[in-house]
């Protein structure tokens, strides 16, 4: 990825009352071939299933039309014309915020009826210069959409939300007219000043939690906050398997030594090679944090040293099943998953020498050859977790 920085995208949501489904919908899509990221938050009228259907339709249309580079007024028009009309109020209604990021260029924001996006630069509010566009098509004449575009800088943050945040606390003594965008802005500035490197996901969830608190811990609307953070990428190197030719051991050792970021070694032979090439001792531990896997080892300069194929197979399984409600333990595979989640660019170096131990026909069938497992893991990291992944074979 040749962009100037990593783009971290996150969203946190809380459903209205006891609803099981959220009436706000968040979609984030990477368009790899164009080096773009498109992020949409839509708030459907009402709550529950009906609102979710409206918001899903809106968000999906918004992503697809933005990918096609349609003009902003056309995007807004088509979305509003497509939505089904509410039988009581005789209006189709779903708000939306669309953020279109060109990784090497500019950010375009298009909004309809959501609270105005907060942009922070150098820990204070940044005004990119908003334009108001009044639609003139027959069906939507007079409706206003707001747009802006700007060139992002490292450290910039975008915070955008549904009404559930801006109107939280409505009718209370403290916020008779709701929390409002000004208070949202002040609070987000305070959060970033107190913790300048706060992640996009933590910032979004703190905004949602504050809105929930304003509502006396009973959400009176679907509450969503999305956050985007332009920052320096966090890198991780995961090495597994010995090189095909033994003379390449030195090259592998050098690659590990030179890497700037977190380092994980998976496999006893791999660890032995790095230990020998970098003249660093391995310390084995006898603490079993996971009954399925051998314990981790310790080596100076490495963030984690684990067993090989069993561990990476389990890592892949955890990533596949992972959801926000998933609780990670402290076993070797769980610890690798945590490191992967905390990283943006993940570099795999896979040694291609066949391990004699894995040719035993009595071993379980899921001991797949190393490169198949890593390829599957890489695909999940790219598609589900939007990570930048490279694989090098040695």
pLDDT at 146: 95
Per-residue model confidence as pLDDT tens digits over 359-384: 555 554 444 578 889 999 999 998 88
Q: Is the pLDDT of residue 56 over 80?
A: yes
pLDDT at 324: 72
Confidence band for 1, pLDDT divided at 50, 70 and 90: very low
The CA-based diameter of the chain, rounded to the nearest angstrom, is: 76
Range of lowest pLDDT (72-86, 125-139, 218-232, 283-297): 72-86
- The share of the chain scoring above pLDDT 70, in percent, equals 93
Confidence band for 91, pLDDT divided at 50, 70 and 90: low
What is the Cα–Cα distance from 309 to 41, expressed in whole angstroms?
A: 40
Q: Is the pLDDT of residue 33 over 80?
A: yes
pLDDT at 307: 92
What is the Cα–Cα distance from 371 to 386, expressed in whole angstroms?
A: 21
What is the Cα–Cα distance from 366 to 127, expressed in whole angstroms?
A: 54
What is the Cα–Cα distance from 282 to 15, expressed in whole angstroms?
A: 49
Average pLDDT for 330-340: 95
What structural domains and CATH numbers belong to the chain?
Answer: 6-231 (3.60.40.10), 235-393 (no CATH)
Per-residue model confidence as pLDDT tens digits over 123-133: 899 999 999 99
Q: Is the pLDDT of residue 139 over 70?
A: yes
Per-residue model confidence as pLDDT tens digits over 250-266: 999 999 999 999 999 99
Range of lowest pLDDT (308-317, 362-371, 382-391): 362-371
| Residue bearing the bigger pLDDT, 279 or 368 | 279
Confidence band for 357, pLDDT divided at 50, 70 and 90: low
pLDDT at 358: 55
Q: Is the pLDDT of residue 76 over 80?
A: yes
Cβ neighbours for 204, distance < 8 A, ≥ 6 positions apart: 10, 11, 12, 159, 225, 226, 227
């Amino acid at each position: 990825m040749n962009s100037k920085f990593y783009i971290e995208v996150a969203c946190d949501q809380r459903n209205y009352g006891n609803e099981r489904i959220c009436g706000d919908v968040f979609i984030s899509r990477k368009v790899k071939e164009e080096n773009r990221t498109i992020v949409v938050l839509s708030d459907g009228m009402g709550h529950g299933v009906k609102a979710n259907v409206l918001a899903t339709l809106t968000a999906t249309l918004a992503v697809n039309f933005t990918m096609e580079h349609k003009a902003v007024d056309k995007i807004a028009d088509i979305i509003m014309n497509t939505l089904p009309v509410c039988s009581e109020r005789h209006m189709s209604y779903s708000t939306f915020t669309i953020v279109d990021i060109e990784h090497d260029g500019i950010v375009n924001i298009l909004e309809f009826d959501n609270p105005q996006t907060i942009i922070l630069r150098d820990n204070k509010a940044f005004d990119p210069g908003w334009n108001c566009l009044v639609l003139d098509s027959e069906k939507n004449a007079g409706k206003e959409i707001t747009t802006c575009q700007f060139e992002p800088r490292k450290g910039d943050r975008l915070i955008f939300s549904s009404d559930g945040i801006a109107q939280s606390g409505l009718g209370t003594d403290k916020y008779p007219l709701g929390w409002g965008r000004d208070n949202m802005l002040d609070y987000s500035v305070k959060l970033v000043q107190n913790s300048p490197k706060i992640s996009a996901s933590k910032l979004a969830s703190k905004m949602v939690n504050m809105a929930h608190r304003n509502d006396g811990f009973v959400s009176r609307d679907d509450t969503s906050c999305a956050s985007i953070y332009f920052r320096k990428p966090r890198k991780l190197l995961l090495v597994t398997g010995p090189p095909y030719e033994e003379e390449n051991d030195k090259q592998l050792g050098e690659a590990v030594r030179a890497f700037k970021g977190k380092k994980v070694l998976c496999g006893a032979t791999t660890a032995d090679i790095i230990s020998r090439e970098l003249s660093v001792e391995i310390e084995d531990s006898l603490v079993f944090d996971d009954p399925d896997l051998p314990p981790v080892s310790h080596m100076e300069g490495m963030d984690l040293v684990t067993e090989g194929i069993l561990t990476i197979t389990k890592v892949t399984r955890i990533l596949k099943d992972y959801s926000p409600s998933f609780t990670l333990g402290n076993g070797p595979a769980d610890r690798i998953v945590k490191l992967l989640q905390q990283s943006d660019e993940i570099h795999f170096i896979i040694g291609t020498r066949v391990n004699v131990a894995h040719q035993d026909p009595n071993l379980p069938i899921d001991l797949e050859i190393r490169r198949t497992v890593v390829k599957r893991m890489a695909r999940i990291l790219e598609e589900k977790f939007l990570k930048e992944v490279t694989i090098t074979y040695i």
